[in-house]
Amino acid sequence: MYLKFSRSTLNIFKSTNFWKNHHLIAREFKHFRWVAILAIVFSALAAGFEGFGLGFLLVFLQSLTTPNAEPVKTGIEWFDILILGINTSTMERLYRVSALIVTTTCIRAFFNYASSFCIQISEINLVDNLRKRIFEQLASQSLIYFSQKNSGELINTLTNEMERIRQIFGGIAFLTTRSLTLIVYSISLFVLSWQLSIVSILLFGLLAVGLSTLNKQIRERSFTITKANDHFTARALEFIEGIRTVHAFSTQEFEQQRYNQASGNIVTAWKKVYWISLSVRPLAESLSTLILITMICVALVTGLMEVSTLLTFFFVLFRLVPMTQDLNGAIAFLSTQAGAVENIKDLLKPDDKIYFQNGHLHFGRLNRSIDIIAVNFGYKPNRLVLKDITLTIEKGKMIAFVGASGGGKTTLADLIARFYDPKDGKILIDGVNLQQFEINSLRRKMAIVSQKSFIFNTSIRNNISYGTSDATEAEIIEAARLANALEFIKKLPQGLDTIIGTDGVQLSGGQQQRIAIARALVRDPEILILDEPTSALDSITEQVIQELLDKFTIGRTVIVIAHRLSTIAKADKVIVLEQGQIVEQGQYQELLKQRGKFWQYYQVQNEVG
């Protein structure tokens, strides 16, 4: 029977490459090794007392079945006399061995409890460490990785798949601890009857070969579960995030169908696994029982051993049957979780990812200019978004990027903030390559206000001071006032301490944008990037904010991505981008006089206006 367990366990370990190839769990072992070692020690002690209990059981059964037989001895004289009482009456020996059986059972139960507690602590630590490793992995990625990755898949990995990893560790711990007891049982069987033990190994070994084939099929089918869960999470997340659009276009039924299909795919995937995995235990139980009954009949007919020894042998064997069934069930369960292991391994492996390479130079301040030299960039290979961009942004000047949607305006600003690195060319700050700077020292001197700035599910106070943890109460209030946000903030139930929900759901688009502008103001940046920051505001508020920004940008280096040309009339230089290339650049009035591309945009907006 231990052969059955060991072969099946070996197969599952090989098939999922737990230890040998990828060390997914083994690498985390160092963080909780002492707790895990204690779990193994306690399990070993529990197994040892299980063995003592079997020895006492043999003495107990002998006292019942053959009271006149010579008492069983351990060979340890003081133990045989003082504990087992071999020189006392049969009833006295029976009482003593009964007390010993109860005592060893209680001690074994305590050690099993201690082992289980340590295993649970190890599971918690394992999941905690893996979550932290995944966060570190995600935080170190270039933004290109996130543009190519489905957010639903990442959420599924951090939630569902992580829970499955916890269950996998529990399954492995179960196999490990039970194997110690199984070894003790197997040794006991050989001591009682090596002949019947060999027969047991041969018969149960054949059974193990058949069951291992089923476990292999279970593992292969488990990968579809992970894919189905990824797709479902992505679909659910997309529905929740796009609920406004769903209602606007009355597509609830369409989304319901897609949601139901994604949910149904999970059901189908699990059904394909369950119909095989759930057959392992009943098959093992039925065939094991057949083998045991056959062996009992043979032993009784042939008279291989005394009645007490035979009863003890088959007591141990019957204890092994449910244990091996549980072990096979655990192995089958581990096979169903193989997809989770592969998913997390894929997320953690470094060879297919583009990591952000941070610089080492501290950025103090901008002294002269930002120079962009012959820059090419594309989110995908062989598909450039920016082509041969060369320009200079002088300190304290306002530069405006204009052009049609998709022309590369936001992408160019993102390169300056080093969200991405150029494919070719370079970006210099005061003559030093941007990639040589420690990025956080640069971004602390920079503020970015996008068309749709992200609002965190926390208080307004925390949103305004986000990234500027040393901002005082007075500075936060002043930034909110300047951003024309203080009036509506005061009307909220808790004022600055009001929690505004996921992505600022409790605020209007204009209110969210004013919070984002206040966040930039409190930062007091040297370099300011504005991606049409007033587009979500009403005309009156837009005028107020535009006047504020005009004052706030004085003396700062400002990069404005403009869709409404009226907002950049005071820009020192206007850069016109078309299909990723600079087609015009110059002052606002100069470009109008040239009657080129910029003039065409101006004409269109005036006609629309």
Asked whether the CA dihedral 256, 261, 262, 266 is positive or negative, the reply is: positive
- What are the Cα distances from residue 536, in Å, to 487, 562, 567? 18, 13, 14
Q: Which domain CATH number covers 390?
A: 3.40.50.300
Regarding whether 445 and 389 lie in a shared domain, the answer is yes
pLDDT at position 432 is: 93
Q: What is the per-residue DSSP string for 363-383?
A: P----SEEEEEEEEE-SBTTB
Q: Which of 284, 274, 237 is nearest to 258 (CA)?
A: 237
Regarding whether 382 and 312 lie in a shared domain, the answer is no
Asked if the structure places residue 453 within a domain, the reply is: yes
Q: Which of 261, 269, 264, 268 is nearest to 226 (CA)?
A: 269
Domain that holds residue 384: 369-608
What does the pLDDT look like over 38-51, one tens digit per residue? 888 888 888 777 77
Asked if the structure places residue 354 within a domain, the reply is: no
Regarding whether 196 and 112 lie in a shared domain, the answer is yes
Regarding whether 408 and 275 lie in a shared domain, the answer is no
Regarding whether 376 and 301 lie in a shared domain, the answer is no
Q: Which domain CATH number covers 64?
A: 1.20.1560.10
Asked whether the CA dihedral 402, 404, 409, 410 is positive or negative, the reply is: positive
Regarding whether 577 and 465 lie in a shared domain, the answer is yes
Regarding whether 387 and 262 lie in a shared domain, the answer is no
pLDDT at position 566 is: 76
pLDDT at position 15 is: 43
Q: What gap in Å lies between CA 138 and CA 109, rounded to an integer? A: 44
Instruction: Provide CB contacts within 8 A for 244, sequence distance 6+.
Output: none
Determine the residue type at 487.
E
Q: What is the per-residue DSSP string for 64-105?
A: HH-TTSPPP--S-HHHIIIII-TTS-HHHHHHHHHHHHHHHH
Report residue 193 as tokens: 């009857």
Asked if the structure places residue 106 within a domain, the reply is: yes
Q: Which residues of 585-602 are buried (b: 16+ CB within 10 A; e: fewer)?
A: bbebeebbeeeebbeebb
pLDDT at position 608 is: 43
Asked if the structure places residue 360 within a domain, the reply is: no
pLDDT at position 569 is: 81
Determine the residue type at 169.
F
Asked if the structure places residue 358 within a domain, the reply is: no
pLDDT at position 62 is: 62
Asked if the structure places residue 364 within a domain, the reply is: no
Query: Could you count the other beta carbons within 10 Å of the beta carbon of residue 380?
Result: 10
Regarding whether 40 and 11 lie in a shared domain, the answer is yes
Q: Please state the pTM of the whole predicted model.
A: 0.64
Regarding whether 79 and 42 lie in a shared domain, the answer is yes
Q: What gap in Å lies between CA 368 and CA 137, rounded to an integer? A: 36
Q: Is 409 in contact with 401 (CB distance < 8 Å)?
A: yes
The edge-to-edge listing of strands for the beta sheet with 446-449 is 446-449, 527-531, 557-561, 398-403, 573-578, 581-586
Q: Which residues of 220-253 are buried (b: 16+ CB within 10 A; e: fewer)?
A: ebbebbbebbbbbbbbbbbbeeeeeebeeeeeee
**Helix axis angle, 162-192 to 33-65, nearest 10°:** 30
The count of domains in the chain is 2
pLDDT at position 234 is: 81
Regarding whether 284 and 205 lie in a shared domain, the answer is yes
- The helix/strand/coil state of 32 is coil
Asked if the structure places residue 317 within a domain, the reply is: yes
Instruction: Provide CB contacts within 8 A for 383, sequence distance 6+.
Output: none
Report residue 311 as tokens: 């009863």
Backbone angles phi, psi at 371, to 5 degrees: -115, 125
Q: Which of 276, 171, 278 is nearest to 214 (CA)?
A: 276
Q: Which of 422, 418, 420, 479 is nearest to 443 (CA)?
A: 418
pLDDT at position 20 is: 41
Regarding whether 44 and 94 lie in a shared domain, the answer is yes
Residues with pLDDT less than 50, the chain = 1-22, 608-609
Asked if the structure places residue 596 within a domain, the reply is: yes
Beta bridge partners of 550: none
Q: Which of 31, 132, 167, 134 is nearest to 345 (CA)?
A: 134
pLDDT at position 538 is: 63
Instruction: Provide CB contacts within 8 A for 360, sequence distance 6+.
Output: 436, 438
Regarding whether 375 and 292 lie in a shared domain, the answer is no
pLDDT at position 535 is: 64
- Of the residues 316, 348, 380, which one is the last residue of a structural domain? 348
